Amino acid sequence: MAGKGKDELFFCGNCGYESKKWMGQCPSCKAWGAFSEAPVMRTVSVKGRSGNVISGVRGLEMIRPVPIKDISASEEERIPTGFDEFSRVLGGGIVPGSLVLIGGDPGIGKSTLLLQTAANVAGGITGEQDTAFAENKGAAGEGGRQVIYISGEESLKQIKLRADRIGDISDNLRFVSETNIDKIIALLEKERPELCIIDSIQTMYTEDAQSVPGSITQVRECAQRMMMCAKSLGIATFLVGHVTKEGTVAGPRVLEHIVDTVIYFESGEQFGYRILRSAKNRFGSTNEVGVFEMSEEGLKAVKNPSEYLLEGRPVNATGAVVTCLMEGSRALLLEVQGLVSESQYNLARRQANGMDYNRLSMLMAVLSRRAGLDLNALDAYVNIAGGMKVTQPSVDLAVIAALISAAKNLVIPGDTVIFGEVGLSGEVRAVPQAAERVKEAAKLGFKRVIMPQINVHGLKKGRVQGFDMESLGVEVVGVRFISELFGIL
Ligand code: TYD
Ligand code: MG
């Protein structure tokens, strides 16, 4: 054969392994008969501008660096999910061609959320739904898009049963029950939907990998193929991934670096609501949360979680304090409960539900040393109502107030919100986004906010744009030291 010489290169069509000689079996991936001649790898010599001879490779397209001003970065239009709560967590809607992993325990509602989202996208529903999905009918409205929902977990019949609960679904949304990822990619290449759901990545397999579906190798390989597919065809893709209790076996953790965005669907299950939280997002911030509750007709967005979290709280009970947290850009009001009682044992008990035990111990030490309230001989319990886990120090002042209220039998008026960080000297330190917190309190009808003096100072000086304390009708009380609380409460 002409041209056969030392420039000859062969490569494995399966894994890309290169070799100077043809081989029957690839030493790298062990595939048989996959070797072929590489057409592009013959070197040529080109005369450079300075007259030097530059070696290059013929047939390879030249790559070219570009200056920053030539890169257009107009953000592509995002696809609305139909749930503001979900869109916000994604960073403002679904980015075309992005690969998003939704992880969560089995039964949390991943399939339901994605089915509803798929139905919304197919039906052209853009905004938050005030009412149950069923009333929106989900029929193909203007702007409906092609969506394919691929289930490897459920038969079409089972999907139908679920779909019946959430309402009418546009014909733009079509279903496939399949687990062979290569067949799925071939289908997507042909159909080119704008959105595709793979439920779940653990059930998918490719014949090119030897291990069983659900193994790390399969899961990673299938996700990688979906990534290529999403990017090259511009199909926004959601992958469902189960987190096992151990978090190891084929957990979606191995996928986190492959995908663009990772969202976890978590619960305070016994409390009936579920929280969407993004752990990684190439297209938005990672500290937004979305709150949902499961109903008879699928998931419903909880538009005002504060109201939800405060529902049924006792009014004018001792030990109950409302505080305000920030979850991303969103202010959340919730109740902190404290209880102290005579200890039956030599060693007093302390229990912290929803907050760090060590933080509680520290706050109790500060209370005793800096404010003279000695709780050493008493059992003390602190509970964050609603099953929330609070890690922000801005809850400190509310915990202190709850303990004071419980120990002194003082009722804190039900229209009061308290927040602030507490330091070891008993000083009350500033918290971020105080204006947002005050606004949320006002929105829910609270009349008095007890907060760090330094934040009050900031607000009064009008440093926060568009924040007008007068019009809110809230009395703002600043504190510098925790000992001042006794006088105020
Ligand atoms: P599912 O979406 O199947 O969870 P996952 O895909 O994360 O495993 O839904 C889980 C639960 O939600 C299931 O126990 C049934 C319940 N459910 C409702 O309460 N209402 C509904 O309308 C639907 C569709 C499901
Ligand atoms: Mg499911």
Q: Which ligand is nearest to the CA of 264?
A: 1
Find out whether the beta carbon of 319 lies less than 6 Å from any atom of ligand 1: no
pLDDT in the model for residue 136: 44
- What does the DSSP 8-state code read for residue 217? H
| Cβ neighbours around 319 below 10 Å, total | 24
262-276, 278-292, 379-393: the lowest-pLDDT one = 262-276
Find out whether the beta carbon of 102 lies less than 6 Å from any atom of ligand 1: no
Find out whether the beta carbon of 164 lies less than 6 Å from any atom of ligand 1: no
Residue 173's pLDDT band, with cuts at 50, 70 and 90, is very high
Share of the chain above pLDDT 70, in %: 84
Find out whether the beta carbon of 109 lies less than 6 Å from any atom of ligand 1: yes
Residue 176's pLDDT band, with cuts at 50, 70 and 90, is very high
Residue 156's pLDDT band, with cuts at 50, 70 and 90, is very high
- What does the DSSP 8-state code read for residue 79? B
Find out whether the beta carbon of 56 lies less than 6 Å from any atom of ligand 1: no
Higher pLDDT, 158 or 209: 158
* Atom 9, ligand 1: residue with shortest CA distance: 109
Find the helix or strand (DSSP H, E) in which 119 lies: helix 110-123
Quick: pLDDT tens for 271-286. Answer: 567 888 888 899 988 7
Quick: pLDDT tens for 316-374. Answer: 789 999 999 887 777 889 999 999 998 888 888 899 999 999 999 999 999 999 999 98
8 Å CB contact between 105 and 135: no
Burial class (CB in 10 A: 0-12, 13-18, 19+), 470: exposed
* Atom 12, ligand 1: residue with shortest CA distance: 109
pLDDT in the model for residue 411: 92
For residue 134, is pLDDT > 90? Answer: no
155 alpha carbon – ligand 2 mean position (Å):
12
Q: How far is CA 380 from CA 137, 397, 407, 412, 486, in A?
A: 52, 16, 9, 18, 19
pLDDT in the model for residue 13: 64
Report the chain's terminal Cα–Cα distance, integer Å: 96
Higher pLDDT, 465 or 394: 394
Residue 151's pLDDT band, with cuts at 50, 70 and 90, is very high
8 Å CB contact between 322 and 416: yes
CA distance 470 to 161: 53
Find out whether the beta carbon of 153 lies less than 6 Å from any atom of ligand 1: no
CA distance 154 to 161: 11
151-160, 287-296, 350-359, 367-376: the lowest-pLDDT one = 287-296
Summarize the confidence of residues 176-185 as an average pLDDT. Answer: 95
For residue 51, is pLDDT > 60? Answer: no
- E-strand ranges in 314-456 read 320-327, 330-342, 350-353, 378-384, 416-418, 421-422, 428-429, 448-452
179 alpha carbon – ligand 2 mean position (Å):
14
pLDDT in the model for residue 159: 92
| Averaged pLDDT score across all residues of the chain | 83
Ramachandran sector of residue 126 (left: φ over 0; alpha: ψ -120 to 50; beta: rest): alpha
Nearest CA to 386 out of 298, 439, 322, 479 is that of 322
Ramachandran sector of residue 35 (left: φ over 0; alpha: ψ -120 to 50; beta: rest): beta
Summarize the confidence of residues 287-314 as an average pLDDT. Answer: 83
Find out whether the beta carbon of 167 lies less than 6 Å from any atom of ligand 1: no
Quick: pLDDT tens for 183-228. Answer: 999 999 999 999 999 998 999 999 988 888 877 788 889 999 999 9
pLDDT in the model for residue 155: 93
Find out whether the beta carbon of 112 lies less than 6 Å from any atom of ligand 1: yes
pLDDT in the model for residue 251: 54
Find out whether the beta carbon of 162 lies less than 6 Å from any atom of ligand 1: yes
For residue 57, is pLDDT > 90? Answer: no
13-17, 397-401, 471-475: the lowest-pLDDT one = 13-17
CA distance 99 to 16: 25
CA distance 316 to 409: 11
pLDDT in the model for residue 97: 93
Question: Any idea which residue has 């793979």 for tokens?
Answer: 198
Quick: pLDDT tens for 89-123. Answer: 999 999 999 999 998 888 889 999 999 999 999 99
246 alpha carbon – ligand 1 mean position (Å):
22
pLDDT in the model for residue 249: 39
112 alpha carbon – ligand 2 mean position (Å):
7
SS3 193: coil
115-119, 126-130, 257-261, 389-393: the lowest-pLDDT one = 126-130
Summarize the confidence of residues 385-395 as an average pLDDT. Answer: 86
pLDDT in the model for residue 213: 84
Quick: pLDDT tens for 396-440. Answer: 999 999 999 999 999 999 899 999 999 999 999 999 999 989 998
Q: Which ligand is nearest to the CA of 166?
A: 1
Quick: pLDDT tens for 245-261. Answer: 554 435 556 788 889 99
For residue 308, is pLDDT > 80? Answer: no
Residue 294's pLDDT band, with cuts at 50, 70 and 90, is confident
Residue type, 237: T
For residue 66, is pLDDT > 80? Answer: yes
pLDDT in the model for residue 43: 43
198 alpha carbon – ligand 2 mean position (Å):
10
Handedness of CA 439, 444, 447, 451 (dihedral sign): negative
